[in-house]
């Protein structure tokens, strides 16, 4: 319990330190990302889970029938909208959800923060268990192959992850890869990289730009029947 509380305290402190000054921008950015890109992956009646939800940037802005958000950061309770149900726990522990109960699991810039590959594997197993057959996993994260040095500028980056290594793990755990991009979004917004939202809208439409500027991978996978 002490270790979990220590991890929760660390996550809370790091999130406040990195993002407190750009909270409004991040919310506006995710409104664009959800509305212009991710919403077509999520049926408006779907049951979703936002894994590693942070302050709810995705789950607050996506439309769905029922929304869960999972994190260890206690600040999430104050940040999530009223229609989002918080699951405050270590994601590598059994989830309080029944088998085949989710339509979509979304995770962004999260798996690399887990303390070991074992934690990542157990988390993927829980995703697989809780997704309905044919359910969708959408995963984004910094691609260590494209940012090999800068990846380690964040103290809480623990796991080397690329689109290829994650795709391999997902295949081992019973997923079918539907879309895979080594480069999707630029690397980070925590150091003042806050482009105008009209540029974000344009960027999302031009896949050639992803190949030049994208340093985060995007994987869309479905749970095998």
Q: Give the model's pLDDT for residue 13.
A: 45
**pLDDT tens profile 115-142:** 999 999 999 999 999 999 999 999 999 9
Superfamily of domain 2-88+98-223: Vaccinia Virus protein VP39 (3.40.50.150)
Most distant CA pair in the chain, distance: 47
What is the per-residue DSSP string for 150-197? GGGGSTT--S---HHHHHHHHHHTTEEEEEEES--S-S-STTS----H
For 8-75, give the secondary structure using H, E and C. HHHHHHHHHHHHHHHHHHHHHHHHHHHHHHHHHHCCCCCEEEEECCCCCCCCCCCCCCEEEEEECCCC
For the chain, the domains span 2-88+98-223
Q: Give the model's pLDDT for residue 56.
A: 93
Q: Assign 16 a pLDDT band (cuts: 50, 70, 90).
A: very low
Beta-strand pair 102-108/84-88: unpaired
pTM for this entry? 0.90
Q: What rounded mean pLDDT belongs to the chain?
A: 90
- At residue 154's C-alpha, the angle toward residues 56 and 177, to 5°, is 60
**pLDDT tens profile 159-203:** 999 999 999 999 999 999 999 999 999 987 555 578 899 999 999
**pLDDT tens profile 67-77:** 999 999 888 89
Residue 149 has pLDDT above 80, yes or no: yes
């Amino acid at each position: 319990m002490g270790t979990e509380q220590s991890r929760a305290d660390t996550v809370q402190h790091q999130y406040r330190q990195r993002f407190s000054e750009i909270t409004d921008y991040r919310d506006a950015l995710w409104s664009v990302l959800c509305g212009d890109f991710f919403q077509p992956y999520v049926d408006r009646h779907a049951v979703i889970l936002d894994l590693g939800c942070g302050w709810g940037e995705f789950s607050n802005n996506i439309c769905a029938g029922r929304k869960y958000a999972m994190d260890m950061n206690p600040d999430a309770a104050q940040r999530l909208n009223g229609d989002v149900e918080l699951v405050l726990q270590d994601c590598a522990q059994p989830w309080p959800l029944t088998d085949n109960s989710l339509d979509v699991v979304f995770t962004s810039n999260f798996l690399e923060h887990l303390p070991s590959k074992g934690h990542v594997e157990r988390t993927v197993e829980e995703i697989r268990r809780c997704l309905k057959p044919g359910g969708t996993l959408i995963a984004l994260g910094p691609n260590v192959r494209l940012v090999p040095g800068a990846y380690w500028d964040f103290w809480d980056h623990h796991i080397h992850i690329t689109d290829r290594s994650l795709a391999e793990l997902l295949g081992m755990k019973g997923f079918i890869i539907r879309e895979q991009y080594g480069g999707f979004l630029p690397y980070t917004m925590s150091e003042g990289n806050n482009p105008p939202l009209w540029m974000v809208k344009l960027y999302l439409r031009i896949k050639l730009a992803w190949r030049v500027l994208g340093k985060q991978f995007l994987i869309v996978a479905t749970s095998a029947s």
